[in-house]
Structure 1
Amino acid sequence: MFFSVVIPTYNRKPILEKCLKALENQQLSDNKVQGYEVVVVDDGSTDDTLNWLANSQKEYPHVKVFEQNHQGPAAARNLGVEKATGDTIIFIDSDLVVTEKFLQSHADALIQGEQEQGNDCIFTYGWVINTCNFDDPSSEPYKITDYSRAYFATGNVAIARKWLEKAGNFDTRFQLYGWEDLELGVRLKKLGLQLIKCPEAVGYHWHPPFKLDQIPNLIDKEIQRGRMGVLFYEKHPTWDVRLMIQMTWIHRILWGVLSVGGRLNEKTMAPFLQWLIDIGKPQLALEVARVFLNWYNVQGVYEAYHELQQRTS
């Protein structure tokens, strides 16, 4: 098999450098992988990413660079698949740093999965370990908060190109934050594809340590995720999707109670969150902040759903 690693990026130059270096250091132990390329799609970055990539071609011989105006990750991944030459696509994000055995592990799991299933209706999903350690991302251990029940998520997934094309690739209407990969996953599941877990294919997902000045952006993302969630539900109006996007009375009650009707918010909880940060617990502070972040998400979901009902009535 020939791998095309498709990476959309937008203003992530510092961590993208670590991402690409890790992909150049792959150790392929047998002939399962005939070769690989790294297809980077710049989604309208303004941080000099394109110039840096143009001046670094010798350091990254596997990398091919394409660009588009800022249209979101769904359109960027579609462009990456269009430009890719491989028969097997691996999607990762540009803030993911992988191990040296990353490609080999996906190849091993794909071949073993085909043998066990008796067909090629499969894809592999590797581990994603969250870390805020920029200097040494791979030193982070796996944590219970890293566990994911997602069926198809583009943080670390390998799939035959033909299945993406048969499913119709990503829906480019998902231009805001969230759900474009899980929506494609619903269509892949309808084609009968089986998920093969591949914990040996490890990627370390870096994000900066949580600080209070990140909160407005995080709130905006949750509202965007709510709006895109309703688009997801509009395409697939099922109970499973309602649960995924938190559009149920259970979620309204849960986050309403936990946030005391929104009274526990970014303002009232700021002193406690700052205290956690000051004692060296930024990740715990972020998890606590999810109380009001999820409340904002649910508000965004129902506001967008109300707008949808008005348009269709």
Structure 2
Amino acid sequence: MFFSIVIPTYNRKPILEKCLIALEHQQLSDHKVQGYEIVLVDDGSTDGTLLWLADHKDQFPHVRSLCQDHQGPAAARNLGVNESLGDTIIFIDSDLVVTEQFLQSHADALIEAEKKLGSDRLFTYGWVINTCNFDDPTSEPYKITDFSAAYFATGNVAIAKKWLLMAGLFDTRFQLYGWEDLELGVRLKKLQLTLIKCPAAVGYHWHPPFKLDQIPALIDKEIQRGRMGVLFYQKHPHWEVRLMIQMTWLHRILWGVLSVGGRLNEHTMAPLLQWLINQGKPQLALEIARIFLNWYNVQGVYAAYKEMQQQS
């Protein structure tokens, strides 16, 4: 088994350094893993990522860097897979910091599951723990909010390259934020691949502590996610996808009631959110902000769906 760790990156140089250092310190305990490479795809960064990597290439012997114009993570991951040398692909994001047992844990889980199932139609998904601790991200404990019910998500997943090629890789029409990995997951599910949870393969997903000035960008992401959700539904017009993208009357009523028809928003809730931030509880403030962020998402979904209907 030879791993190719495919990482798309865009203007994340500070945390990317921690990500790559952690991957260079993997402890492989047996001969099952013949080796690994890190395929870093720079998606048109403007922060000097590639220049920095060239200046520090001796620190990262496993890294092969590729670059493309800014096209989004779907195109970046496709480029990484197509240029990879490994038989097994691991997808992580460039703001993920892993433990020293990360690769070995994925390898053990893949081999054990294949023996148990009597088939190699499977992939492993590790834990992703969210943290805003930049200095020591791996000290963050697992929280209930870190749970994910997604079938296939690229935050921390290992899968045989042949299944990705058979499914057709990522759809590069997903150029805005969201859904390109779960859409590929629908196609992988049609190939009858089994999801194997691998909590021993832990990655710590860093993001800066929540501040009020982040809200406009977060709202924009939710609107983008709504638009990409409609593209997802356009490709797979099933009830399961409608539930995923929150395009149901249930979601419309739920977030409408919780946000009081949009009256609880970034303006009216700002004093409470700022108070929580001042109390040292930025993560709680972010979770409360998700009330109106989800409202924006649902509004974005239905606006994009109406636009799609008008065009057709």
TM-score calculated relative to the size of structure 2: 1.00
* CA deviation profile, 1:106-142 (whole Å, cap 9, x unmatched): 0000000100110100000000000000000000000
- The correspondence of residues 11-90 of structure 1 with structure 2, limited to 5 A, is 11-90=11-90
User: For residues 117 and 307 of structure 1, what CA distance do their matches in structure 2 show?
Assistant: 45
Root mean square deviation, CA, Å: 0.3
- 1:4 is displaced (CA, Å) by 0.1
- 1:29 is displaced (CA, Å) by 0.3
User: For residues 240 and 32 of structure 2, what CA distance do their matches in structure 1 show?
Assistant: 37
The amino acid of 1:79's aligned partner reads: L
- 1:28 is displaced (CA, Å) by 0.2
Asked whether 1:245 is paired with 2:229, we answer: no
The amino acid of 1:64's aligned partner reads: R
The amino acid of 1:35's aligned partner reads: G
The amino acid of 1:231's aligned partner reads: L
Asked whether 1:91 is paired with 2:85, we answer: no
User: For residues 224 and 74 of structure 1, what CA distance do their matches in structure 2 show?
Assistant: 15
The amino acid of 1:104's aligned partner reads: Q
Asked whether 1:231 is paired with 2:236, we answer: no
User: For residues 250 and 41 of structure 1, what CA distance do their matches in structure 2 show?
Assistant: 39
* CA deviation profile, 1:161-204 (whole Å, cap 9, x unmatched): 00000000000000000000000000000000000000000000
User: For residues 185 and 34 of structure 1, what CA distance do their matches in structure 2 show?
Assistant: 27
- The correspondence of residues 1-313 of structure 1 with structure 2, limited to 5 A, is 1-312=1-312
The amino acid of 2:277's aligned partner reads: I
- 1:41 is displaced (CA, Å) by 0.2
User: For residues 65 and 56 of structure 1, what CA distance do their matches in structure 2 show?
Assistant: 12
The amino acid of 1:116's aligned partner reads: K
Alignment length, in residue pairs? 312
- 1:56 is displaced (CA, Å) by 1.0
- 1:263 is displaced (CA, Å) by 0.5
Structure 1: segments with no counterpart, 5+ residues: none
User: For residues 168 and 83 of structure 1, what CA distance do their matches in structure 2 show?
Assistant: 15
3-state DSSP of counterpart to 1:196: strand
The amino acid of 1:229's aligned partner reads: G
User: For residues 43 and 147 of structure 2, what CA distance do their matches in structure 1 show?
Assistant: 29
User: For residues 102 and 231 of structure 1, what CA distance do their matches in structure 2 show?
Assistant: 34
The amino acid of 1:285's aligned partner reads: A
Identity of aligned residues (%): 81
3-state DSSP of counterpart to 1:261: coil
The amino acid of 1:170's aligned partner reads: F
User: For residues 308 and 8 of structure 2, what CA distance do their matches in structure 1 show?
Assistant: 30
* CA deviation profile, 1:187-238 (whole Å, cap 9, x unmatched): 0000000000000000000000000000000000000000000000000000
User: For residues 121 and 85 of structure 1, what CA distance do their matches in structure 2 show?
Assistant: 20
- 1:5 is displaced (CA, Å) by 0.1
3-state DSSP of counterpart to 2:57: coil
User: For residues 150 and 33 of structure 2, what CA distance do their matches in structure 1 show?
Assistant: 26
- 1:311 is displaced (CA, Å) by 1.1
